[in-house]
Amino acid sequence: MYDFKFADIGEGIHEGKILEWFFKVGDKVKEGETLVVVETDKVNAELPSPVDGIIEKLGAKEGDTIEVGQTIVLINDGIDSNPIDEKKEPLTESKSAPGVIGEIEVSSEVMASSTESSNTTKTNINKALATPVARQLAKDLGVDIKQINGSGEFGRVLKEDIYKATEIKKASQTIAIPKVSVSAQGEVEYVPISNLRKAVVRAMTLSKQIIPHTVLMDEVIVDQLVELRNKVKEQTAAQNIKLTYMAFIMKAAVLALKKFPHFNASFDQENERMVYKKYINLGIAVDTPVGLIVPNIKDADKKSILELAQELRTVADQTVNRTVQLAQLQNTTFTITNFGAADVAYGTPIINHPEVAILGIGKINQKPVVINGEIKIAYILPLSLAVDHRVIDGADAGRFLSQIKSLLNDPMMLLLS
């Protein structure tokens, strides 16, 4: 019997909603066939069957919410084992279960002190009684789960306990915010926010709470870049490649990151150390009908401008259609966001935690500038760079931005690199 669980896929995703089953109990399924579509905060994921067999039991119905570590389906694959009673969580069971992306180690172990009993309080327990999903949630929100008094059976820590502890922690660290009372004089409409918007709320709040942002803004003359793109865009279109300015900007960012590796890093505050990434996964903020999602281009430093343009178009389309693979949302090292798409020149972008910087791109416009003492009309690209001021000083940020400006001002350097 194969117990197929909803794997821990990271990115702050703790649960999913069953959208559609393609099989029912008693059906035969082959390895690789899509079993179910699960809606998470960021994508609609198609989960393939990990084995050949017969569907014995579905772990949830369409419309139900499942958590990380919970059984999605039991498949009779002809191998004898003891299927898990979904009503009882095993105390010491760990196995490798294929999830949304490849095989991910999943544990359903519940950690508890050997001295605990129904009459024992959590005061003297070394490790809290909680499920893996609760532990991961506490870790993501920066809460010490051992300090939480669980409201579940035998003092088990529930998700609600963690959220409550998070609010208490915030209240102790920040100025109290008065409650907002909604006027009842006029007509109002209450609209719950989507799961994706809730994820954005958590991510943005976390970033602004932890990271002291500082933003540098500047402009770069891109006449040569505009001329180069206009020369080659028809040729690239013939190869079914839409060559946008973003591909050149991505290449410039990659070269700047290679010269300034501390921008392609994360800050491990707990251990007071920098984590330098030897790979560059370039995140691109994509505006979708349901909210902002940031997929990334893997190993962007190993790709040409045309390869970046082609992959960017593919990933952006998949993101808008909610078919992007979860792997494309994970392990981003540096992010670019495009204000120009919203007809905006400048902004103050919020860093994608735990990254240490983000580059904002504005709309290219023609405007008068002074060149060699003469006023000329030039194409100008606005740039906004936000950095984590704990680990990146303003001078370093200025040098990084100057490097990007230099490359975009003379795009032949991008082609020769």
Where b means 16+ CB within 10 Å and e means fewer, 309-329 reads bbbbbebbebbeebebebebb
Cis preceding-peptide flag for 192 (omega within 30 of 0): no
Cα 325 from chain centroid (whole Å): 12
Instruction: Assess whether 389 carries a catalytic annotation.
Output: yes
d(CA 35, CA 3): 13
Residue 150 amino acid letter: G
Rounded (10°) CA dihedral 246, 248, 253, 259: 180
Smallest CA-to-CA distance from 327 within 318, 336, 335 is with 318
Bridge partners of residue 95, in order along the sequence = 106
DSSP string, 45-70: EEEEPSS-EEEEEESS-TT-EEETT-
- Give the CA radius of gyration of the chain: 25
Q: State how far the alpha carbon of 224 is from the alpha carbons of 136, 195, 248, 410, in Å.
A: 49, 43, 12, 7
Catalytic residues: 389
